[in-house]
Amino acid sequence: MELNNIKRAVTETALNAGKKAGEVANKTKIRFALANMQSDLDELYEKLGKLYYEAISKGTENGTKESAVIAKIDSIKADMEVLKAEIGLFPRSGKVCGACGKTIPKNAEFCPYCGEKFAK
């Protein structure tokens, strides 16, 4: 009888260790994705600065190109917030979109994933 208890405890421990290893691997993948997203953001911020400088220096401020870059930046930042919440880098301070079920920033007026509009 005691052998069965030991066997059960060893099996349970091994399963828990495997589960924990999977969680660590998943968090590592997410952290890597976050680092890549931050790199993309840095490039977009640089591009935005150059576009703004060129527009101001030429006197051609119309904001079209800048708006497209800003939209990309906002999208990446929203994706990063979701990933950070997923791995617990900060407490979930968002809300869940009723249409698609994704966690989004609590002050969002639109869901960045499906476009659902929220009441104010």
Structure confidence at residue 86 (pLDDT): 80
Same domain, residue pair 7 and 62: yes
Residue 96 lies in domain: 92-120
Same domain, residue pair 106 and 80: no
Same domain, residue pair 58 and 30: yes
Number of domains, the chain = 2
Same domain, residue pair 100 and 80: no
Same domain, residue pair 74 and 33: yes
Buried residues in 76-102 as b, exposed as e (16+ CB within 10 A)? bebbbbbeebeeeeeeeebeebeeeeb
Same domain, residue pair 25 and 80: yes
Same domain, residue pair 65 and 102: no
CA 91 to chain centre: 13
- pLDDT tens, 77-115? 999 988 887 877 654 567 778 788 777 887 888 888 888
First to last CA, the chain: 63
Give, as one character, the DSSP assignment of residue 107. T
